[in-house]
Structure 1
Amino acid sequence: MGNSILQVTNLQKEYIGEITYKALNGIDFQLGENEFVAVMGPSGSGKTTFLNSVSTIDRPTIGEILINGRNPYSLDDEELAKFRRSELGFVFQDFNLVHTLTVKENILLPLTLDSLPADKMQQRLQHVSQFLGIEELLSKRIYEISGGQKQRVAIARAVIHEPSLLLADEPTGNLDSKAVNDVMNLFSSIHTELKTSILMVTHDPYVASFANRIIFIKDGKLYNEIHRGHNRKQFYQEIMDTLAFLGGGQHEL
């Protein structure tokens, strides 16, 4: 696979309450440089917990996560915040944009936090806004743009600091079918042209078919993985077949 951007070893996560619930049960996983991997599984399978553990939102109970050879959970709060801003990009279903800011201000937020010089910020803004086709939106407020445009802005904010790993949680969940297609073509472009590694959780087989590889999680364990060849239609059918084996209809996954 070449160099690993992400290496996960024996990942386990328990939630302790009246009943102890094991959300992840010993997952081993590697994500290579410039690889695009989707994570699928039934509701409650542990796929979001897996992404949250990798994204440093949710500390694992047992196991090790290395991103570019570093364990983010060994860092103090200040180091971790800097690590997130330099290494990770985040794209969420509900966009997580700041409505009181303009599109431009939202996109520049990660660079502002790192006090990047103004000329470098402008250079990166110009590049990413042209790449994502949103130059004409830069002066608008968030409430003035559509859902598909909001997700483009969220993606711009996620990649402007050139992260080595882009993490996406149901990035098309709030979009109509045309916007879904547009956004997923953008993810493909980010992967191929910006050489960014992507880890994406989705329940949608069509969305997942844009990835190079899909891992399926069931009951907190790695259940299966499939790889895309040259035929995306065939890959889509493999996804559907695997989901059928996992059990449940598409609306439950």
Structure 2
Amino acid sequence: MLLFCALLLVLSGFIPLSALAKIQIYTVDTPPYVIKTGEGLEGLSGEFGKAVATSIKKAGKQQEFEVVWVPYKRALLDVEKNPQSLFFPLGRSFEREYKYHWVLHLDDVDCLLYAVDPKVQIDNLEDLRKYRIGVQGGSAREQELHRYVGKSSKVEAMSDDLSNFRKLQTGRIDIWATRPMFVDEAKRQMQAKGMPLREVRVVKKLFTQSLWLVGNRDMSDQSRNLVQSIFGWGNKKNTVKSPALNAGNFLNGALL
């Protein structure tokens, strides 16, 4: 972690904002993507950032890149607008497949359905459709839920996924579709405020999400070649196909 923090200082100190030829690497600056500790930065942005920074340093290309810390939604907007840009971590989905260059696979994470009410059970798609489900707006989790329940008003999207934890705790939603790290961070924040917590349990696994370092679709050949020399480049055999719209894909997973 100290290596990553040191490299960020190097990048910030030696790359002027006016250097438009630099490749900007957007990553998320809010918990739980990044958590500041006495030993450096933790969370997905911190862990993956360390790997990305190490690769750049190993290639001796620190002067070619600038790390930019921004909120998640702004990062998505900026990487789509800026041809000289990369972003991590982004979940790969069919809907996003042709919006970005998929440069480097980082990790796979499970997306789970959480509840506090012991009466909430999911044995089939009809069960899923009867519950109010909180999810992060614009996420692959939201897209996946709509595949199963359609454009239902019971899928309630929030820009701040951690807000869904408070809604779950107060009974304003029945299920929260999220990743374990968001649950852990939400618990930590509420416990720090001395707020009582209802026990949260996993009802079912929704799907496994593949996280990537992505690039703008209009990146120049010169920049693409530089990025490829450092990180490699995702190939066509890894493209995501739209899964069949039936219950099998969802129900064949083990009930938790």
* TM-score category of the 2 structures, normalised to the smaller one: under 0.3
Between structure 1 and structure 2, the one with the greater Rg is 2
Provide the TM-score with structure 2 as the length reference.
0.26
TM-score, normalised to structure 1, is 0.26
